C-alpha cells in the first residue's frame, strides 16, 4: 500500500513539474513569435545589402575615405536649400554627420554636444537619419526649451582607438567647440584585432546552445532552452585573453590583454584629453536585446575602468533597459529588421530617453536655462531621402507649404560603389513594390500632399508616423488620405516621419517630380 502511494506521489510530483515547465515555456514564448520565414529573412538581407550600398553612394563616397583599416565612409546629406550640412572630407581627420538642422536655429549661446561612435551612431541601414537617437534627443531637448545642438561623429566599424584619434589628432574640437562629448559605447569597441579584410583572430567559438543538456531541453522546450543557452554562454564567453567565444563574427572583449590595452591606450588618454581640454566626457553604453546576463557581463569592466579616472563618467543603460523597456511591447522594433541587428526605432527611442535623462540631471548647468517652448505648427522640412539620388531640393516655401523637386530613380542605370555594381536603386520592402522615401526633420502633421510629374502615372503615397502609444515610429505603413487628381488630402492628426512614394514611370529611365506638402494647423 505504501509502495503504491509512493508511486502515486511521484507521478503527481512529475506531473506538477511538467505543468510548471509547460507554463514557463508558454510564458517565455509569449510575444516572441516573429513569424519570419527563411525566405522573408533572405529577402530582407538582400535589401539590407542594397541599402548599405545606397548609403555609401549617398555619402559621396569618393571624397569620404577615412584613415582607418576599414576605409569606411560616413553619411553626408543633400539638404533643402538653405539647410547646411557639414560632411567629412579626405583630410578633415574625422567623420561628421551634421546635426541635420537649419544653422539659423542656433546661435553663439547654443550648447554643443558631440556624440561619437560606430554604426550605431552612424545609423547603418536606417531609412531615416532623423530616427537616430542623438537626433531624437536634440529634437526633444529643444522642444523642452533647451538651446542645444547635437552633432553625430561616427563611422561604420570604428573602434575606440579610432574615436580617440578623432578627438586628439584632428581639428574636431576646434571645429565643433563641444561643451560635452558623449561616446556611444558598444561592447565590441575595444576591438584591435582586425585585418584590412575584416578577419578576426584568436577566438574559440563556443555557443551555449551546443551544450548537450541545453540542446536536449531545446528540442522539447525551445523557449526554456534559449534561456539556458544564454546562461551557459554568459558564463563561458571569455577566454583568458579576452576573446569572445560565442558568435564567430565578434571580436575580443574587455579582459586580459584586451583590458590592459584598452585601459592604457584609450581610457587613460581619454581621461587626460578631458582634463587638458576641460571638456567633460561621458561614456554611454548601447545595449542590444541579447540577454540581460550577457549584456551586463559585457559592460561590467567599464565600471571599474571609469571609476579609476578623474574626468570620465559612465552611464550604463543596461539596467534601465531590462527594468523598464525590454519586453514584447517593443520587440518588433528593437532592430532595423529581422536580418539586421543595428538599432531600430525602439532602441533609438530608448537610447534617446536615457541620454536625455542624464543630460538634464547631471549637466543641467551646461544645458543652461530653458526658454518657453513654442506652440507653432511644424513647417514641413524634408532633410533626408532614400535613395540618395532622389534629392529633395527646395523649390519654394510659402506659409505652411513647402515645394520640393524629386527624382524617381532609373531602373536601368547601374551604380558603382567601391567597385561593386548594383542596379536596384529604389526600395521595395515592406511594400513589395518599388518606392522612394522622403523624411521630415521633425514629425509633421500634413493636411495635404500634391505630387506631379509629366512622366509618371498610377502614383501611390504611404506614410510612417509616430505611434503615440509607444512614443516612436513603429514602422507601420499607412495609405495617405484621399486622392483627387494629383492631390491627396488627409484629416488624420498623425505626426508623420516619412512619406513613401510609389509611381510608374513612362519608361525605365526614371522621372522628375514636384512634391508639395502642407502642414496642418493645430
Q: Using one digit for the tens of pLDDT, what is the confidence trace for 137-186?
A: 999 999 999 999 998 888 777 889 889 988 998 888 988 899 999 999 99
Separation between Cα atoms, residue 308 and residue 268, nearest integer Å: 9
Domains and CATH numbers, the chain: 55-196+252-367 (3.40.50.1110), 382-519 (2.60.120)
Q: Which of 486, 419, 476 is nearest to 452 (CA)?
A: 486
What residues pair up with 496 in beta bridges, in sequence order?
444, 465
Measured over the CA atoms of residue 233, residue 239, residue 244 and residue 247, the dihedral's sign is: negative
Provide the strand spans (E) within 228-381: 281-285, 312-315, 335-337, 340-343
Separation between Cα atoms, residue 493 and residue 480, nearest integer Å: 12
Cell readout for 18 is: 511538467
Separation between Cα atoms, residue 247 and residue 250, nearest integer Å: 6
How many angstroms separate the Cα of 459 from the Cα of each of 115, 402, 434, 464? 39, 20, 11, 17
- 344-367 pLDDT, tens digit each: 999 999 999 999 999 999 999 999
Separation between Cα atoms, residue 41 and residue 320, nearest integer Å: 30
- 403-448 pLDDT, tens digit each: 999 988 887 777 665 556 666 678 899 999 999 999 999 999 999 9
The pLDDT confidence band at residue 208, using thresholds 50, 70 and 90, is low
Higher-scoring residue by pLDDT: 476, 241:
476
Average pLDDT over residues 270-276: 98
The pLDDT confidence band at residue 83, using thresholds 50, 70 and 90, is very low
Q: What is the pLDDT of residue 376?
A: 74
> What mean pLDDT, rounded, does the chain reach?
80
Half-sphere exposure in the Cβ direction for 124 (13 Å, CA): 20
Provide the strand spans (E) within 165-206: 180-185
Q: What is the pLDDT of residue 166?
A: 87
75 has a pLDDT exceeding 50: no
265 has a pLDDT exceeding 90: yes
Separation between Cα atoms, residue 394 and residue 497, nearest integer Å: 18
* pTM for the predicted model, two decimal places: 0.83
Separation between Cα atoms, residue 267 and residue 264, nearest integer Å: 6
The pLDDT confidence band at residue 62, using thresholds 50, 70 and 90, is very low
Separation between Cα atoms, residue 232 and residue 164, nearest integer Å: 34
Q: What is the pLDDT of residue 100?
A: 54
Helix %, strand %, coil % of the chain (to 5): 35, 25, 40
Q: What is the pLDDT of residue 246?
A: 43
The pLDDT confidence band at residue 19, using thresholds 50, 70 and 90, is confident
Separation between Cα atoms, residue 135 and residue 114, nearest integer Å: 11
102 has a pLDDT exceeding 50: yes
59 has a pLDDT exceeding 90: no
- 290-330 pLDDT, tens digit each: 667 777 777 889 999 999 999 999 999 999 999 999 888 99
The pLDDT confidence band at residue 85, using thresholds 50, 70 and 90, is very low
Apex CA 404: angle with CA 401 and CA 409, to 5°?
150
Q: What is the pLDDT of residue 516?
A: 97
Amino acid at each position: 500500500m505504501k509502495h503504491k502511494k509512493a508511486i502515486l506521489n511521484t507521478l503527481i510530483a512529475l506531473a506538477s513539474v511538467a505543468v510548471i515547465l509547460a507554463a514557463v515555456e508558454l510564458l517565455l514564448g509569449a510575444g516572441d513569435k516573429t513569424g519570419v520565414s527563411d525566405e522573408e529573412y533572405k529577402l530582407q538581407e538582400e535589401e539590407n545589402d542594397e541599402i548599405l550600398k545606397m548609403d555609401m553612394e549617398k555619402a559621396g563616397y569618393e571624397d569620404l575615405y577615412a584613415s582607418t583599416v576599414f576605409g569606411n565612409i560616413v553619411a553626408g546629406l543633400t539638404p533643402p536649400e538653405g539647410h547646411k550640412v557639414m560632411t567629412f572630407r579626405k583630410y578633415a581627420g574625422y567623420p561628421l554627420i551634421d546635426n541635420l538642422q537649419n544653422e539659423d536655429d542656433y546661435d553663439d549661446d547654443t550648447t554643443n554636444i558631440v556624440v561619437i561612435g560606430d554604426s550605431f551612431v552612424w545609423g547603418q541601414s536606417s531609412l531615416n537619419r532623423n530616427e537616430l537617437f542623438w537626433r531624437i534627443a536634440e529634437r526633444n531637448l529643444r522642444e523642452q526649451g533647451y538651446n542645444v545642438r547635437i552633432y553625430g561623429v561616427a563611422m561604420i566599424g570604428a573602434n575606440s582607438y579610432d574615436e580617440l584619434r578623432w578627438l586628439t589628432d584632428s581639428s574636431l574640437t576646434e571645429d565643433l567647440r563641444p561643451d560635452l562629448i558623449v561616446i556611444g559605447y558598444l561592447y565590441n569597441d575595444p576591438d584591435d584585432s582586425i585585418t584590412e579584410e575584416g578577419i578576426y583572430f584568436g577566438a574559440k567559438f563556443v555557443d551555449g546552445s551546443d551544450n548537450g543538456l541545453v540542446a536536449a531541453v531545446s528540442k522539447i522546450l525551445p523557449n526554456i532552452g534559449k534561456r539556458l543557452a544564454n546562461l551557459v554562454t554568459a558564463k563561458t564567453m571569455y577566454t583568458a585573453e579576452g576573446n569572445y567565444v560565442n558568435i564567430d563574427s565578434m571580436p575580443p572583449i574587455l579582459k586580459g590583454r584586451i583590458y590592459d590595452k584598452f585601459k592604457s591606450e584609450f581610457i587613460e588618454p581619454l581621461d587626460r584629453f578631458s582634463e587638458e581640454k576641460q571638456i567633460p566626457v561621458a561614456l554611454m553604453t548601447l545595449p542590444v536585446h541579447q540577454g540581460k546576463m550577457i549584456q551586463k557581463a559585457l559592460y561590467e569592466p567599464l565600471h571599474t575602468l571609469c571609476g579609476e579616472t578623474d574626468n570620465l563618467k559612465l552611464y550604463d543603460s543596461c539596467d534601465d533597459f531590462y527594468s523598464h523597456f525590454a519586453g514584447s511591447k517593443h520587440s518588433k522594433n528593437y532592430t532595423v529588421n529581422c536580418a539586421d541587428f543595428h538599432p531600430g526605432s525602439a532602441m533609438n527611442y530608448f537610447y534617446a530617453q536615457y541620454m536625455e535623462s542624464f543630460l538634464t540631471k547631471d549637466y543641467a548647468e551646461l544645458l543652461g536655462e530653458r526658454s518657453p517652448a513654442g506652440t507653432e505648427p511644424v513647417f514641413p522640412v524634408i532633410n533626408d531621402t532614400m535613395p540618395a539620388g532622389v534629392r529633395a531640393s527646395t523649390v519654394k516655401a510659402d506659409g505652411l507649404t513647402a515645394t520640393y523637386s524629386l527624382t524617381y530613380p532609373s531602373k536601368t542605370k547601374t551604380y558603382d560603389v567601391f567597385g561593386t555594381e548594383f542596379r536596384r536603386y529604389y526600395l521595395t520592402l515592406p511594400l513589395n513594390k518599388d518606392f522612394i522615401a522622403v523624411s521630415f526633420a521633425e514629425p509633421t502633421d500634413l493636411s495635404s500632399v500634391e505630387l506631379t510629374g509629366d512622366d509618371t502615372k498610377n502614383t501611390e503615397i504611404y506614410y510612417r508616423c509616430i505611434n503615440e502609444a509607444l512614443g516612436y515610429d513603429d514602422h507601420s505603413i499607412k495609405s495617405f488620405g484621399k486622392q483627387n487628381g494629383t492631390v491627396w488630402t488627409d484629416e488624420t492628426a498623425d505626426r508623420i516621419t516619412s512619406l513613401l512614394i510609389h509611381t510608374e514611370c513612362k519608361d525605365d529611365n526614371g522621372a522628375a517630380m514636384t512634391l508639395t506638402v502642407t502642414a496642418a494647423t493645430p
